[in-house]
Chains A and B, each alone.
Chain A
Amino acid sequence: GEDVEQSLFLSVREGDSSVINCTYTDSSSTYLYWYKQEPGAGLQLLTYIFSNMDMKQDQRLTVLLNKKDKHLSLRIADTQTGDSAIYFCAESLTGKLIFGQGTTLQVKP
């Protein structure tokens, strides 16, 4: 079945690294995504990784993919207060996106 799981809350101090984790169930997913939702807004694509990759780095963001364990993580280096938001991982299945519940990241000054 299709299921994407995330922890619901993460709190870090400004300047620390944040790691948000996600597990998914369908090994046929072609792309895996991280979206960011700021308060009162829609979702914006942060980054994505193709299923044949293990890692992708994009400035402060690092995505790690462990296909064997179906585990995806998003690391944010030097976390800033502006990074406070809800982060959703999602997998693509024949063009549909299946989202996790979202992880609320709280950044304390």
Chain B
Amino acid sequence: NAGVTQTPKFQVLKTGQSMTLQCAQDMNHEYMSWYRQDPGMGLRLIHYSVGAGITDQGEVPNGYNVSRSTTEDFPLRLLSAAPSQTSVYFCASSYSMRRFSYEQYFGPGTRLTVT
């Protein structure tokens, strides 16, 4: 298994540009989520999904969209990038939300800079 994969690893955007961060998992996990990590602030939940076709907002959803058309993929879209979105983005997955697994598997992260 490849686990959780994220692309790209690094990205530089100009203010106002849009882009999609890709996330895929091959473990047949129902639950997937996106976090952003900023210095001294830990990880903050952006959006999450409990299964294909179902998404919900986390703590900091503004400026981001998600969709979950398949179990494997959970892309994160930045609609109009802003410097405040400069961060490291992590995708994570776990087996189930109904019987919450004690382990979330994290991808390696995407480091995004918005100038």
Query: Which A residues contact B (CB, under 8 angstroms)?
Result: 4, 6, 8, 30-31, 33, 40-45, 48, 88, 92, 94-102
List the count of A-B residue pairs having beta carbons below 8 Å apart.
57
Q: Shortest Cβ distance from A2 into chain B, in angstroms? A: 8
18 A-B pairs within 8 Å (CB atoms) are namely: A4-B42, A31-B102, A42-B90, A42-B92, A42-B107, A42-B108, A43-B92, A43-B106, A44-B106, A48-B103, A92-B102, A95-B48, A95-B50, A95-B100, A96-B45, A99-B35, A99-B44, A101-B42
Given contacts A42-B106, A45-B104, A101-B41, 6 further A-B contacts (CB under 8 A): A42-B92, A42-B108, A43-B92, A94-B97, A97-B33, A99-B35
Report the minimum CB–CB distance from A50 to chain B (whole Å).
Answer: 8
Q: Is B75 an interface residue (CB 8 A)?
A: no
Contact of B100 among A30, A42, A43 (CB under 8 A): A30
> A-facing mask of B103-114, CB < 8 A → 1, else 0?
110111100000
A34 to B104, CA, bound (A): 11
Q: In angstroms, how far is the closest chain A Cβ from the Cβ of B88?
A: 9
Q: What are the interface flags for B74-115 relative to A under an 8 Å C-beta threshold, 1 for contact and 0 otherwise?
A: 000000000000000010100001001011101111000000
Contact A45 B102 (CB under 8 A): yes
Q: How far is the CA of A21 from the CA of B58 in the complex (A)?
A: 25
